[in-house]
Amino acid sequence: CLELKLRGNAVFRNLLIWPYAVSGATIGIVFHVLANPVMGIFAWLNAIAPGIWAPYSSPIQSMLLLIVAYAWCLVPFNFVMLVASLKSVPDDYLAAAALDGAGPLRRMLDIQLPLIAPYLLFVFVIDLLESLSNSFGLVDTLTQGGPGDTTNVLAYKIYTDGFMGLDLAGSSTLSVLMLLAVVALSVAQFKLLSRFQRRGVKA
């Protein structure tokens, strides 16, 4: 459906890419206002059942709120990459498969999915790296790691331990561990992408 030429597709794609151009801190502030239990968009739930919507005191609700906000940040990049990868699939392959009687689902599973697998791997690794290194602004403005340590991600914990708790040794150790994790994921990504490219050349 991403490749369908429908009226308004260009406007829809432009609107969808906007969240990726906004900083995590800004998105955190927006979601903080929207999720406010007193005047947010879900405040009416507390009028029906007082206390049912408490995203800043309920660990489950605060985690779900953070997941939704972070997913909203990443959707534009993933969308652009997915559209670009689908457009890279040669039309001749799809036309030949259609002549052989393959339906849309079979064409997607047998042709499109294997060809866009490197793009999917790239997006997956980039999302992991983003969640490790660039989640600080969103957490700081939305939940501040609470309630308790429910949403205290690694990047925010490094900040609180080092700059607020003055535990420089522990904060430095966590920083090195995060750096090693980022390097390991990057190396694994390059190796897997190289393997995909070699298979493509052999094919």
Structural domains in the chain, CATH included, are 9-88+117-201 (1.10.3720.10)
Return all residues near 55 (Cβ < 8 A) that are at least 6 apart. Answer: 35, 37, 61, 62, 64, 65
pLDDT of 199 reads: 66
151 and 63 Cβ atoms separated by less than 8 Å: yes
Return all residues near 110 (Cβ < 8 A) that are at least 6 apart. Answer: 97, 102
- Cα separation, 181 vs 125, in Å, equals 11
Residues in the chain predicted with pLDDT less than 50, given as ranges, are 201
- Cα separation, 197 vs 53, in Å, equals 49
pLDDT of 5 reads: 60
pLDDT of 3 reads: 55
pLDDT of 176 reads: 92
Q: Which helix (H) or strand (E) holds 118?
A: helix 113-133
Handedness of CA 87, 88, 92, 98 (dihedral sign): negative
pLDDT of 6 reads: 61
66 token code pair: 């953070």
pLDDT of 201 reads: 42
